[in-house]
A and B are shown apart, each in its own frame.
Chain A
Amino acid sequence: MPTHQDFAKSVLFCLLVTALPFWAVADSPAERALHSREDLMKDMGKHMKALKKALGDGMDAKSVAEHAKGMATLTKTLASDLKSLFPAGSDQGDTEAKPLIWKQWDKFDQAAQAAATKGAALLDASTRSQAADLQPAYQALGETCKTCHKDYRAEK
């Protein structure tokens, strides 16, 4: 006659067996970091695309303010969470990150800080809503993106 204890053991066993395949294919910390940074970069791309459109379409101030704020937030996150987004060993797998990142970590970190500074400058410029202020700030931020990608990301 099976006891409650036996029943509990059986349930636990079944749960473990069921969970095992999921555990086996779960992302490693490096893979999680890889997905997190890809999502972050994609979101930045969306904001930059929207900013370009907003700046080109006769200056849509509301949209500019929204996406400048988005870029300021994301570049700040990039700079502050750089180590967790790019942990050592995460140059493997489906990634365009070059191993040079970890060889030149200080320089890479400086590039991320520069992006945060330029992001904040863009947000600041957006509060004045003058296209003459915004275009250079937008271009300066884009330039930091390209400079970083030139050294640390494979071609795209």
Chain B
Amino acid sequence: MRIKRAIPHFCSLLGLLGGLAPAWAGATPAEDLVRQGEYIFRLGGCQGCHTDSANQGAPLAGGRALETPFGTFYTPNITPDPIHGIGKWSEYDFVHAITQGMGSAAGQGIASGTGHYFPVFPYPAYTHISRGDLHALWIYLRTVPPAAHTNKRHDTAWYLLPGASWAWQLLFFKHGADPGQAAQPEQSAAQRGEYIAKALAHCEECHTPRTRFGTLDQGLSYAGTQQGPEGAVVPNITPDPKTGIGQWAQADLLDFFKDGGLPNGDYTGGLMAEVIDNGLKYLTREDAEALATYIRNLPPIEHAVSRKKKTAASPKP
């Protein structure tokens, strides 16, 4: 009888100890590392894609629909939820996913599970993130509240058969020279600007048109596209004076990163406004200067990108 009466108390004690476990284990990460991770998280644009803001989704719980010419992709839950998120992943799994574009088998429901990711997840850019930054990002992501939100399967074009993402990686994906270690901590301002643009903020992924195979058209790097994410028309940000941002001064770019204001007094909209709000406005002054300098020194490419007229859908017979 005594044992039976004691069971609920014992269970309560276990629950309490379970709740205290992270503190016991000394797992509370150093604040500066969390802050560094949050900074990387912001510049990497994780918030925008992994949160279904339009439907009041929980932060980083995924479910945002990304419409592309290759189908609609639903971003996964990257909260520490053990069932639906990445709660059971190790740091190795995380780094592997980011730098190699491959999911972990550690019991979470990222869309197609353990397979190769489609490049709608910008791992071709993230593969160049330094190991130190990835470690900080991993630590930060462990601090966000878990959300038990089920992942949704992608709705891809019919020709993307099983194995398509594996084949794509085999043919087109080049991981960083030393995966996960590529960028060195000691960087010149020019290298830092390139690192932010290419690896963290993955500017090319939206501002460069894609080939029919979904790879970036390197001949038009940063020169804009009419087929951006979610059907957006993405502007040319090379310093071409006619079709790009050749008329912009350094201060114009710095202001733009800060509040989305354009030199003509207008304000940016759509996805770029999200990128500013979730990420670029948090740039340190030094990093903003480095990124602006890098962008202003890109090779100018004359490539006009204009909005197509929207026409009313013709009535169905």
Q: Which residues of A contact B (CB under 8 A)?
A: 41, 44-52, 89, 91-96, 98, 139, 142-143, 145-147, 149-150, 152-156
* Residues of B near any A CB (own CB < 8 A): 228, 232-235, 255, 259-274, 276-277, 307, 309-312
Count of A-B contacts judged by CB separation below 8 Å:
89
Check B309 against A146 for contact (C-beta < 8 Å). Answer: no
CA distance A80 to B276 in the complex (A): 29
A154 engages B232 (CB within 8 Å)? yes
Q: Which 8 A-B pairs have the closest CB atoms?
A: A49-B265, A149-B269, A150-B273, A155-B270, A153-B269, A45-B265, A48-B265, A145-B267
Residues of B within 8 A of A95 (CB): 310
Find chain B residues with CB under 8 A from A155 CB.
228, 232-235, 268-273
13 A-B pairs (CB sep. < 8 Å): A49-B265, A50-B265, A51-B265, A93-B309, A93-B310, A142-B260, A142-B261, A150-B270, A153-B270, A154-B232, A155-B228, A156-B235, A156-B262
Which residues of chain A are near B271, meaning CB under 8 Å?
155
Q: CA A146 – CA B271 in complex, angstroms?
A: 11
Q: Let me know if A92 and B312 touch, CB within 8 A.
A: yes
A67 to B201, CA, bound (A): 35
Task: Check A149 against B259 for contact (C-beta < 8 Å).
Answer: no
Residues on B with C-beta less than 8 A from A146 are 259-261, 267-269, 273, 276-277
Complex-state Cα separation, A54 to B233, whole angstroms? 32
Asked whether, in the complex, the Cβ of A149 is within 8 Å of the Cβ of B270, the reply is: yes
Given A92-B310, A139-B259, A46 contacting B265 (CB threshold 8 A): yes
Minimum Cβ distance to chain B for residue A104 (Å): 10
CB-CB < 8 A to A45: which residues of B?
262, 264-266
Q: Which of B255, B273, B307, B312 has the most CB of A within 10 A?
A: B273
Q: Which residues of B contact A98 (CB under 8 A)?
A: 270
Q: Is A143's CB under 8 angstroms from B259's CB?
A: yes
B265 close to A152 (CB less than 8 A):
no
**Hey, which chain A residues are within 8 Å of B255, CB to CB?**
52
Are A96 and B265 touching (Cβ within 8 A)? Answer: no
| Min CB–CB distance B255 → chain A (angstroms) | 8
What are the residues of chain B within 8 A of A44 when measuring CB–CB?
Answer: 265
Write the chain A residue with the least CB distance to B255. Answer: A52
Q: A156-B262, A156-B269 are in contact. Are A150 and B307 (CB under 8 A)?
A: no
Contact among B235, B264, B265, B277 with A150 in the assembled complex (CB-CB below 8 Å): B277
